[in-house]
Amino acid sequence: MGEAIIQVRNLHKSYGDLEVLRGIDLTANRHDVISLIGASGSGKSTFLRCLNLLEIPTKGEIFVQGRRMPLSNPENGPAKVTSERELREIRAQLGMVFQQFNLWNHMTVLENVIEAPIRVSRKSKAEAIAHAQELLDRVGLSAKADVYPSQLSGGQQQRVAIARTLAMDPSVILFDEPTSALDPEMVGEVLAVIRDLAGEGRTMIVVTHEMGFAREVSTEVVFLDQGRVGERGAPEQLFGDPQTASCKQFLKKVL
């Protein structure tokens, strides 16, 4: 057992009467790669977006390296962010990679990567650029530093987005279906980068539909079913010998 980077306790999320998450617990230790799988509508993405409070959970607690996400006690009305400053500090530790890349279109690739280190971590420009060039090199895009996102393919944009996240040196990276918006021929290049990160022991939580990838890189696979953890376990166990009927059925459909 390593050091817990993220701990989630009894996370709930409702939109009006619709309960999307119904009490999820999860612990990610250092060097863990946790894949979240499940049918669409099972709450995978919502869960991930609750972790850095892009969605405000209705109930539950989240700890990032022991620090509690600044949420008010839901017993007294709806949960609210209690400290913007603390939230910002914790978010800087939680990298996020989106399905739609979300690169900033008015900035070059390099500017995208150095923006947060300069504005948030207060790094010097020279330092940020040096680090960014290393990272772009790593995702194989050092030649594209001065072009704009619209001039890149989807796969290239997603690799830049990963470099942008790495530039903040996060202690955990959240991937929200990182390959779902890509043309099939570009999925491989992005997965290769993520696989590489897993190989160096990065702590990651990945929402994905790529079962082969989940099986190969994960230390734990969590199957979400209607807002609850339907089943969890080591990849060979969960994919090889699923215990619950719903997980069996889901795997039969996607494999």
Partner 1 sequence: MGYQDIKYAVSDAVCLLAQDTTPASFAKYCPRYIDGILVTVELLLLSSFIGFFIGALVAVGRVSGGPSVRSLAWAWSYVFRGTPLLVQLWIVYFGLGSLGEEQLGVLWPFFKSGWAVGLAVLTINTSAYIAEILRGGLATLPPGQYEAAVSCGMSRGQAMRRILLPQAIRVAWPAYGNELILLMKGSALVSTITVMDLMGQTRSVFARGYAMETYAYSAVLYLLLALFLTLLLKMVERRLRVGGYP
Given the complex with partner 1, which of 120 and 234 has the nearer CB atom?
120
| Cα radius of gyration rounded to whole Å, the chain | 18
What single letter denotes the amino acid at residue 66? G
Entry field: residues in the chain: 255
- Is residue 174 exposed (0-12), middle (13-18) or buried (19+ Cβ within 10 Å)? buried
Distances, alpha carbon 7 to alpha carbons 96, 165, 190, 212, 217, in Å: 17, 21, 27, 26, 21
- Secondary structure letter of residue 167 according to DSSP: T
Minimum Å gap between C-beta 160 and partner 1 is 11
Nearer to partner 1, 145 or 238 (CB): 145
Least distance to partner 1 from the beta carbon of 93, Å? 8
Task: Compute the 3-state secondary structure of the chain and give helix, strand, coil in percent, each to the nearest 5.
Answer: 40, 25, 35
Q: Which residues bind partner 1 (CB under 8 A)?
A: 52, 54, 84, 88-89, 91-92, 94-96, 98, 100-108, 115-116, 119-121, 148-151, 161, 164-165, 168
Residue nearer to partner 1 on the CB measure, 112 or 239: 112
Could you tell me the smallest distance in angstroms from the CB atom of residue 31 to partner 1? 22
Nearer to partner 1, 63 or 148 (CB): 148
By beta-carbon proximity to partner 1, the closer residue of 120 and 254 is 120
User: Which tokens in the block code for residue 73?
Assistant: 């006690």
Phi-psi region of 253 (alpha: psi -120 to 50; beta: other; left: phi over 0): alpha
Smallest distance, partner 1 to C-beta of residue 193, A = 18
Q: Which is nearer to partner 1, 117 or 230 (CB)?
A: 117
Q: What are residue 174's DSSP bridge partners?
A: 96, 205
Shortest gap between Cβ of 131 and partner 1 (angstroms)? 14
CB of 4 to partner 1, least distance (A): 21
Determine the Cα–Cα distance for residues 41 and 226; give it in Å rounded to an integer.
7
